[in-house]
Amino acid sequence: MASERVSGLKLGSQGLVVSAQGLGCMSMSGSGFFGPPKPEPDMINLIRHAIDSGVTFLDTSDFYGFNTNEILIGKTLKDGYREKAQIATKFGYRPIDGKVEVCGDPAYVRSACEASLKRLDIDCIDLYYAHRIDTSIPIEITMGELKKLVEEGKVKYIGLSEACASTIRRAHTVHPITAVQNEWSLWTRDLEDEIIPTCRELGIGIVSYSPIGKGFLAQGPKLLENLPEIDVRKRMPRLTNHVEHNKIIFEQVNEMATRKGCTAAQLALAWVHHQGTDVVPIPGTTKLENLHQNIGALSINLTPEEIAKLESFAFDVIVKGERHVSMQRTWIYSETPPLSSWEGN
């Protein structure tokens, strides 16, 4: 089933076609994300290799490496690579006085988009997401500006990241949403109750970030052995305080992978690929061998019994610890004020 989907996948019902697996580029540009920035020539080579191998859907943000990830993607897209790739980027995290806030103010949305276009050195962003939802402004107001950017040809399709069902619904009334990007993996499934059915009802595609548990479902506790202090995973409760408990899930996935003749990363990814033809995982990697492995996950077929077995691991053990650092709590699945509270402002 999964192997038939390597090439074009319709993401959402608005016309965007992407590769069945994308490439998360965040960890290529530190600092404060996953480790330090990686050497630029190596990353350009890796991304181009991904595109040449059919992984054409690139995921970045103005926040990753504080603009530097978009600059990296911009350089990668030279020499004919722009035409072969679909570029998804995001706005919303605004650095202010050494901290960050989330901003969906129309003037900010416009300036962020124009700055991203410059850094990426492209005419139009294929998919432009609100990276997090600004809880101080009705989502309709943010969407109004995004709609104008589409009309002006600066953006082709609109997405939301970590939005709750009611925000998705409200946003969709202003302009069709093409994709929702949320964390979705074997051990993060809270979106399945409301968000996934809402997306399916509205014809919105689903992009799964951290599909291999930020590396933990691929490597288990070994992942945490040599992480530098600046790596944000050092401060994520699920990956710090509760490793002894949570490692059982990895061990079970890994055991099943060995029996099936694949790797734990591939099995975790294959599970996401089997969630539907409207779902695209975007595993992040900075290594060619891992990229190849991840592409290999598209050829793994899982039986309904194997899917149920995999799901039982996290279900029986019950994952402990939040998936994000505490700062993020405000911006995940958050509601925005009603439009009526804004009108007349």
Catalytically active residues are 64
Cα separation, 84 vs 105, whole angstroms: 32
Q: Give the residue with the Cβ less far from ligand ATR, 49 or 147.
A: 49
Q: Give the residue with the Cβ less far from ligand ATR, 182 or 293.
A: 293
Report in angstroms how near the CB of residue 94 gets to ligand ATR at its nearest.
21
Cα separation, 319 vs 331, whole angstroms: 21
Angle between helices 139-151 and 165-174 (to 10 degrees): 40
Q: Among 45-53, 143-151, 280-288, 330-338, which window interacts with ligand ATR (CB under 6 A)?
A: 280-288
Report in angstroms how near the CB of residue 64 gets to ligand ATR at its nearest.
10
Q: Give the residue with the Cβ less far from ligand ATR, 188 or 336.
A: 188
Cβ atoms within 10 A of the Cβ of 334, count?
Answer: 16
215 near ligand ATR, rule: CB under 6 A: yes
235 near ligand ATR, rule: CB under 6 A: no
**Which residue from 46, 218, 236, 253 is in contact with ligand ATR, where contact means CB under 6 A?**
218
Q: Give the residue with the Cβ less far from ligand ATR, 104 or 213.
A: 213
Angle of CA points 179, 54, 205, to nearest 5°: 15
Q: Give the residue with the Cβ less far from ligand ATR, 116 or 161.
A: 161
Report in angstroms how near the CB of residue 74 gets to ligand ATR at its nearest.
20
**Total number of residues binding ligand ATR (CB under 6 A)?**
22
Instruction: Name all contacts of 197-203 with Cβ < 8 Å and 24+ positions apart.
Output: 197/165, 198/165, 198/168, 198/169, 199/168, 199/278, 200/276, 200/278, 202/168, 202/169, 202/172, 202/176, 202/177, 203/12, 203/13, 203/14, 203/176
Which residues neighbour 203 within 8 Å (Cβ) at sequence distance 6 or greater? 12, 13, 14, 176
Q: What is the per-residue DSSP string for 109-144?
A: HHHHHHHHHHHHT-S-EEEEEESS--TTS-HHHHHH
265 near ligand ATR, rule: CB under 6 A: yes
188 near ligand ATR, rule: CB under 6 A: no
Q: Among 47-55, 111-119, 168-176, 290-298, which window interacts with ligand ATR (CB under 6 A)?
A: 290-298
Q: Looking at residue 33, what DSSP letter applies?
A: B
**Which residue from 56, 86, 116, 286 is in contact with ligand ATR, where contact means CB under 6 A?**
286
283 near ligand ATR, rule: CB under 6 A: yes
Q: Looking at residue 10, what DSSP letter applies?
A: E
Q: Among 158-166, 284-292, 302-310, 323-331, which window interacts with ligand ATR (CB under 6 A)?
A: 284-292
| Cis geometry, peptide bond prior to residue 61 (ω within 30 degrees of 0) | no
Contact 321, 120 (CB under 8 A): no
138 near ligand ATR, rule: CB under 6 A: no
**Which residue from 131, 214, 238, 324 is in contact with ligand ATR, where contact means CB under 6 A?**
214
Cα separation, 269 vs 278, whole angstroms: 15
H or E element that contains 93: strand 93-96
Per-residue binding string, ligand ATR, 96-115, x by CB under 6 A, is --------------------
Instruction: Tell me which residues in 291-330 interact with ligand ATR (CB under 6 A).
Output: 293-294
State which residue has the least CB distance to ligand ATR.
284
Cβ atoms within 10 A of the Cβ of 92, count?
Answer: 26
Which residues bind to ligand ATR, rule: CB under 6 A? 24, 26-27, 34, 209-215, 218-219, 265, 283-287, 290, 293-294
